[in-house]
């Protein structure tokens, strides 16, 4: 389970809107001065993201919580969001070339390019419908796992409380 801390900004029914802050681990990395990710993080900064998550614990607005997402859900979603458009582009491009050869076109590239772009568009439209269908699917939905504990320091000893 991938976990991230967040602050609940609103609740509605079984869902809550939480605000997370994107952060990189570049500060503790020895190669940060020569890394492209570090440079990109400096340009983009630490942006806040609003995310809708399941709220099974009944967290209220203003509470700090821990939000989790199953690793397999992230892997499946990444597969669909990267592979489907790529495959639809490649397969339709090859189909366009095959059709151009069968029709007898002198140059197969224009039809191959047009059909590839059309296939990419079809893949992206399918992906949009897939995202819409899985928006409320709990298998792909982040969930509030627990309230985040606050750390109190008493006499030099830190105590984690819930």
93/103 Cα distance (integer angstroms): 15
Tell whether the model's pLDDT for residue 22 goes beyond 80.
no
* DSSP code of residue 48: E
DSSP result, 75-99 = HHHHHHHHHHHHHHHHHHHHHHHHH
As to burial, measured by CB atoms within 10 angstroms (0-12 exposed, 13-18 middle, 19+ buried), residue 89 is: buried
Do 111 and 96 touch, CB atoms closer than 8 A? yes
User: Between 40 and 110, where is the model more confident?
Assistant: 110
- The residue with greater pLDDT, 2 or 100, is 100
Instruction: State residue 39's pLDDT score.
Output: 57
Which alpha helices (H) appear in 9-149, and where do they start and end?
Answer: 36-44, 71-103, 109-134
Residue 138 DSSP code? T
Q: What is the mean pLDDT of the chain?
A: 80
Could you read off the pLDDT of 83-132 as tens digits, one per residue?
Answer: 999 999 999 999 999 999 999 998 999 999 999 999 999 999 999 998 88
Q: Please state, for a pLDDT cut of 70, what percent of the chain lies above it.
A: 75
Alpha carbons 89 and 115: distance in angstroms, whole number? 8
In degrees and rounded to multiples of 5, residue 121 shows phi and psi of -60, -45
Greater pLDDT, 46 or 71: 71
Q: Is the pLDDT of residue 156 over 50?
A: no
């Amino acid at each position: 389970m991938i976990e991230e801390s967040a602050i609940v900004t609103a609740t509605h029914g079984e869902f809550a809107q939480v605000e997370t802050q994107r952060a990189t681990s570049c500060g503790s990395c020895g190669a940060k001065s020569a890394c492209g990710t570090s440079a990109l993080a400096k340009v983009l900064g630490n942006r806040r993201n609003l995310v809708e998550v399941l709220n099974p614990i009944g967290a209220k607005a203003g509470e700090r919580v821990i939000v989790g997402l199953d690793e397999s859900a992230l892997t499946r979603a990444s597969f669909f969001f990267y592979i489907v458009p790529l495959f639809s582009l490649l397969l339709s491009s090859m189909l366009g070339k095959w059709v151009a050869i069968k029709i007898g076109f002198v140059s197969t590239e224009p039809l191959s390019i047009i059909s590839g772009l059309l296939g990419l568009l079809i893949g992206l439209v399918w992906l949009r419908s897939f995202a819409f269908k899985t928006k409320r699917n709990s298998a792909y939905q982040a969930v509030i796992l627990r309230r985040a504990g606050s750390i109190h320091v008493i006499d030099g000893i830190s105590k984690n409380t819930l």
